[in-house]
Amino acid sequence: MPEKSEELKRNVTRGEMAKILAQYLDIADDVYNTSETAFVDVSIYDENVGLYNMLYDFGYINGDTSGKFNPERNMTLNEAVKFTVTAMGYGFIAE
């Protein structure tokens, strides 16, 4: 059981949380627009660009003031709560 306990303590990146959010919402990104990117730090060739674009367009995720999503950066607790509350339909509260 210690392995599970340690897994629960590990950091989660913003990109990983976006994937978790998509699974929770039961949405697929395989047909979403990948010819553009909503974030300056996500390439159109990134395997998750469609996912990020879709979640951004639906208002579930956003970038920082410089237009970056920072998918490899670890989530803060505040960001994780905002992602989750927004996915539950209460994004207006999270602002």
Residues 40-57: pLDDT tens digits?
999 999 989 999 999 998
| Per-residue pLDDT at 5 | 67
68 contacts 62 by C-beta, under 8 angstroms: no
Size (the chain), residues: 95
Kindly indicate the confidence band of residue 94, based on its pLDDT and cuts at 50, 70 and 90. Answer: low
Q: Residue 94 CB: number of other CB atoms within 10 A?
A: 15
Smallest CA-to-CA distance from 24 within 87, 73, 78, 67 is with 87
| Per-residue pLDDT at 88 | 84
What are the φ/ψ torsions at residue 11 (nearest 5 degrees)? Answer: -70, 155
SS3 20: helix
